[in-house]
């Protein structure tokens, strides 16, 4: 149980393109979903927390107009990287939690490369 699906697995696109990443909880209802970014050999960096039907809460330093998060249902959240540039290239990972104090379950991640 507790499967989180994330798509796409990898994206290569040109600078200026907007990229949408989907995160779905397949076998449980996720009251909260989280979006992380990880650079090579570095720690997970939380970007934002989203609750179904509410605006996402962004961590300090994360541009909300750059990284658009939508959490339309209890099983789906999306992250859109708008007008992506090479410095946005990274490993983006979502996680989902069924409730307070419950574990976060991670998707497989999306490797984004902006040329």
Partner 1 sequence: QKEVEQNSGPLSVPEGAIASLNCTYSDRGSQSFFWYRQYSGKSPELIMFIYSNGDKEDGRFTAQLNKASQYVSLLIRDSQPSDSATYLCAVNPRGSSNTGKLIFGQGTTLQVKP
The residues of the shown chain that bind partner 1, judged by CB under 8 A, are 2, 6, 31-32, 34, 43-44, 46, 49, 57, 93, 95, 97, 99-109
CB of 5 to partner 1, least distance (A): 12
- Residue number with CB closer to partner 1 (36 or 88): 36
- Residue number with CB closer to partner 1 (1 or 14): 1
Helices (H) and strands (E) in the chain, counts: 0, 11
DSSP assignment, residue 87? G
- Residue number with CB closer to partner 1 (14 or 61): 61
CB atoms within 10 A of CB 51: 15
CB of 32 to partner 1, least distance (A): 5
Query: 69 — alpha (psi -120 to 50), left (phi > 0) or beta?
Result: beta
CB of 14 to partner 1, least distance (A): 24
DSSP assignment, residue 27? S
> What is the bridge-based pairing of β-strands 32-38 and 19-25?
unpaired
């Amino acid at each position: 149980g507790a499967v989180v699906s994330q798509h796409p697995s990898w994206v290569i696109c040109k600078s200026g393109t907007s990229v949408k990443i989907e995160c779905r909880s397949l076998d449980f209802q996720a009251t909260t979903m989280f979006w992380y970014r990880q650079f090579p050999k570095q720690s997970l960096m939380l970007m934002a927390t989203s609750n179904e039907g509410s605006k996402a809460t962004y961590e300090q330093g994360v541009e909300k107009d750059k990284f658009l998060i939508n959490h339309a249902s209890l099983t789906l959240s999306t992250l859109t990287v708008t007008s992506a540039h090479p410095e946005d290239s990274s490993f983006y990972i979502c996680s989902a939690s069924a409730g307070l104090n419950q574990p976060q379950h991670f998707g497989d991640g999306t490797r984004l490369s902006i040329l």
